[in-house]
Chain A
Amino acid sequence: MNGTSPTYAIKVQGLVKGFGEYPVLNGLDLTLDWGRRLTIFGANGSGKTTLLRLLSTQYRPDGGKIWVGGIERGQSPAAIRGMIGVVAHSPMIYEDLTCEENLRFFGRIFGLKGLGPRIDQVLGQVGLRQRADQRARTLSHGMQKRLAIARAILHDPPILLLDEPESGLDAEALEGLRNVIIGGAERSRTVVMATHNVEVGLAWADEVAVLGDGRIVYRAERHEVNEAHLRGAYLRRVEVAA
């Protein structure tokens, strides 16, 4: 951890990112303390996925700085990747491998020890224990998503980055996901979740933000959230006085 941000799990300063047409993120600032759960709302195309990909080191910023887990992105992106678990739109798994083999592969790449029991444990957490030896191709979309969640927590990361994780999950899997996020048993994780789903997003969060015009235009603690303001910012993407 460097001296600049010893207390923040995530810190973003003046982030700029574009894909050649116009900047999708334009001077975004954000901080999040350890152990807090932040939900980011934003319309389609507002840059939620881009922001998450920047935090996960998949994208390189055009301008500004990012610190994840106290590590500056430019210094050591690989170290950041060791601290985060990511659930995204696509499941990021190999269809011709079984659930167990998928997790074993990623576990070995992460350099984890004691994989056998660990794999069994996370499969249990997401409710896939009975399907451990089934090829991923035979799983339904929702179950593949569960496997993706298992993969994300396999190395017990302190920070989770989730991009619409609740989509495609049935009630049981949703409950499983909630347990993973709100945890309790293992540890309290720091979570950044991007979603459209206002209900789930509000229910699981400590803090709430809205992304619009390339920046955060609304930020509040969950208990302070003024629903009218939230929807206003979400729908109209305008700056709202808190």
Chain B
Amino acid sequence: MSTVEKTAPAVSARASGRAIPVSLVLLALASVLMLVDMYLIFMWAPTEAVMGHVQRIFYIHVPMAWLAFTAFGLVFIGSVMYLWKRDTKWDNLASSAAEIGVVFTSLVLITGPIWAKPVWGIWWTWDARLTTTLVLWLIYVGYLMLRAYSPNRSQAALYSAVVGVVGFIDVPIVYFAVNWWRTQHQRLVIGSGTIEGSLHSDMRVTLYFSLLAFSFLFAYLLWQRMSTRRMEDELRAARYQVERETRR
């Protein structure tokens, strides 16, 4: 909660323009890297022998999956720190990371079937990684719903921090459970597991570059989302100030 004293320095930082260049820098880097990345993915990388052009989704699907999991790691850190320090900035981190994480996870869940159908003939398989990703998605959609349905901001922050902690601790257990479950029933294990080991060096370069590009995109989105939240807090504090003054 911004008290009167906390508002002033934040506003002046904005005014001095110190906060702005970071987002511009990230945007510029992210844009350039993504453009180069698109070129690499669609023009430069060699076509996979068996799967053909569809395989290029792999360069989007995999980095997004890695970043989605990173996002939820950030949610965990933000949640733990918020529970400890009760400083809004940690809640901003957790909630922003959760939103972006849900978006990235949704895209992983969408690009997965798009890739799987032409290649393996099925939209979905309940293999360990896909299923864990789906459960993760459900947990963090629950996180966002909880924030939306909480009676006020501070309770939203507190409750969702709890879910952020519990959810993150739960995910490894879910993974083991689903993994054993699928091994027991010997279902088809699809996905990049079978691919990553046998990557052509050009493909590996493309993959890592793609990871870099998406990382900057992620960083930019996170920074923007957190800035917006911070500005909303400042606006609220300023409005309260104005209301107090006019009441006198």
Contacts and interface: CB of A to CB of B under 8 A. Distances in A.
Contacts of B153: 19-21
B236 A26 contact: no
A73 interface: no
Interface stretch (B154-162, B170-178, B204-212): B154-162
A95 interface: no
A29 to B, nearest CB: 15
A206 to B, nearest CB: 31
A20 B1 contact: yes
Interface in A218-242: 237-238
Nearest to B156: A20
Contacts of A19: 152-155
Contacts of A62: 1, 86
A16 interface: yes
Interface in B195-248: 236-237, 240, 244, 247-248
A19 B156 CA distance: 10
Contacts of B4: 26
Interface string B66-108: 0000000000000000000010000000000000000000000
B186 to A, nearest CB: 50
Given A22-B237, A213-B244, A238-B248, A16 B3 contact: yes
Contacts of A16: 1, 3
Chain B interface residue bracket vs A: 10 to 19
Interface in A190-205: none
B233 to A, nearest CB: 9
Contacts of B236: 21-22
A36 B188 CA distance: 76
Question: Is the contact region of chain B dominated by helix, strand, or loop, or is it mixed?
Answer: helix
Interface string B1-39: 101100000000000000000000000000000000000
B239 to A, nearest CB: 8
Contacts of A238: 248
A157 interface: no
Residue among A20, A22, A63, A237 with the highest chain B CB neighbour number at 10 A: A20
Residue among B86, B154, B157 with the highest chain A CB neighbour number at 10 A: B154
Given A62-B86, A63-B3, A21 B152 contact: yes
Contact of B3 (A23, A213, A237): A23
Contacts of B86: 62
Contacts of A142: none
A168 interface: no
A178 to B, nearest CB: 35
A23 B247 contact: no
Interface string B102-130: 00000000000000000000000000000
Nearest to A238: B248
Contacts of B157: 20
Nearest to B1: A18
A23 B1 contact: yes
A152 to B, nearest CB: 26
A237 B246 CA distance: 12
A18 B4 CA distance: 12
Nearest to B152: A19
Interface in B136-178: 152-157
Q: Which 9 A-B pairs have the closest CB atoms?
A: A20-B153, A22-B240, A18-B1, A19-B152, A20-B154, A19-B154, A20-B152, A23-B1, A62-B1
18 contacts: A18-B1, A18-B154, A19-B152, A19-B155, A20-B153, A20-B155, A20-B157, A21-B152, A21-B236, A21-B240, A22-B236, A23-B3, A26-B4, A62-B1, A62-B86, A213-B244, A237-B247, A238-B248
